[in-house]
Amino acid sequence: MELLGLTPLMLTLTLTGLTVVVLALYLLRNEQRKVIVPSVLLWDSLLIKRKGVAWARKLRRFLSMLLALLIAALLALAIADPRRLAKSSDRRVVILVDASASMQATDDKPNRLARAKAIAQRIVQSLSGSDLALVAQLDASVTPKSTLTDDRASLRHGIERITKTDLTGDLSVGMMFALDVLSSSKEAELYIVSDGNLNGIDTAARLAGQHKQLKVHYLRVGSRNRNVGIEHFSVRRYPLDKTHTESIVRVRNFGDRTETAKLKLRAGAAVLYEETLTLPAHESVARTFADLGRP
């Protein structure tokens, strides 16, 4: 057990202080309000009947004080933030949060990336006191968002700084990064928070297989496996007649199944082009337009 909030000395001092305060309050409370009465003669006749109650009253006051002391002790312990020590002090964790284009899908509310960040926060929360962790953003490359640290605040802040990208995610890059970070650790763990629409999965699996000491946890977000998106979109002028333009759009199905997708090009509220496309697995379809948007 270790204390993250307070040192043992500070905890002792806090407990002592709270105990003194509680006891002082009870002692002050025992200095009850004095009321002058003409005679205690009549009250005595009532007190005789209530001798048994007097014991109960003292006991109640004592129990009340014990309860107050217990609450004060629990409060001090909460401030001290005790954590159970990890079995091994060599645990190292890398958390890869997928920030590729597919993570902007909204089947998870508000979107997959937000859901992935929330999961990453929970992973950080569950780390024990001696764990060292690193948070990194995964897309076409890997961007570390924190150092390898036991500072929860730094890790939480790193997760918050992960931003969406319009890039294709590549897990093999992420895996190599993780192996570099965790190479010296005997107890290494890799958390991948992703929707699974990543390139380089096979390579990553092979690399992971070569490092048996690495525990890989895959935490999936997103309820659908559909992964269709605009892969390329550009506009250029004709070299010989610069008053006219040509546009090209390429839509790709990253999934393993044939998908049907609706391509819709807009200029503000006006729909310029609309078509329903059927895309075989891992295939792309391109469309070119002359003077797109010109009346």
Partner 1 sequence: MRSPFRRSDRPKALHDAGRDVSDTFDDAFQQKLESLVLVARRIASGSSRAERRTKKSGSGIEFAEHRPYVVGDDFRFLDWKAFGRSGRLVLKQFEEEQDISVYLLLDCSASMTANQSQKLNYAKKIAAALGYIALAGLDRVSVQAFGDALGARLAPTRGQSRALTLLRFVARLDGEGKTDMAKSLRAFAARESRRGIAIVITDGYDAAGFEAGIDALRYARFDTTVLRVVDEAELSPKLLGDLTLVDAETGDTREITVTEAMLVRLREAYALHGARLASFCRDKQVPFFELSIATPFDEALLHILRRGGLLG
Binding footprint of partner 1 on the chain (CB under 8 A): 29, 32-47, 49-50, 53-54, 57
Asked whether the beta carbons of 213 and 96 are under 8 A apart, the reply is no
> DSSP string spanning 244-276?
-EEEEEEEEE-SSS-EEEEEEEEETTEEEEEEE
Nearer Cβ to partner 1 (47/78): 47
Residue 51 C-beta: closest distance to partner 1, Å: 12
Nearer Cβ to partner 1 (50/266): 50
Nearer Cβ to partner 1 (68/73): 68
Residue 71 C-beta: closest distance to partner 1, Å: 21
What letter does residue 127 receive in the DSSP assignment? Answer: -
CA separation for the pair 83, 129 (Å, rounded): 6
Q: Is the dihedral of CA 130, 131, 132, 137 positive or negative?
A: negative
Nearer Cβ to partner 1 (31/241): 31
CA separation for the pair 132, 91 (Å, rounded): 7
Nearer Cβ to partner 1 (29/206): 29
Residue 52 C-beta: closest distance to partner 1, Å: 13
Q: Which of 153, 157, 151 is nearest to 132 (CA)?
A: 151
Nearer Cβ to partner 1 (50/232): 50
Asked whether the beta carbons of 97 and 158 are under 8 A apart, the reply is no
What letter does residue 32 receive in the DSSP assignment? Answer: P
Residue 57 C-beta: closest distance to partner 1, Å: 6
Residue 92 C-beta: closest distance to partner 1, Å: 59
Tokens of 230: 């605009």
Residue with tokens 């007190």, as numbered in its chain:
47
Angle at 27 between CA 25 and CA 29, to 5 degrees: 65
Nearer Cβ to partner 1 (30/210): 30
Residue 28 C-beta: closest distance to partner 1, Å: 12
Using DSSP's 3-state secondary structure scheme, residue 277 falls into: strand
Q: Is the dihedral of CA 157, 11, 72, 130 positive or negative?
A: positive
CA separation for the pair 105, 223 (Å, rounded): 10
Residue 93 C-beta: closest distance to partner 1, Å: 56
Residue 22 C-beta: closest distance to partner 1, Å: 18
CA separation for the pair 11, 39 (Å, rounded): 51
Nearer Cβ to partner 1 (61/186): 61
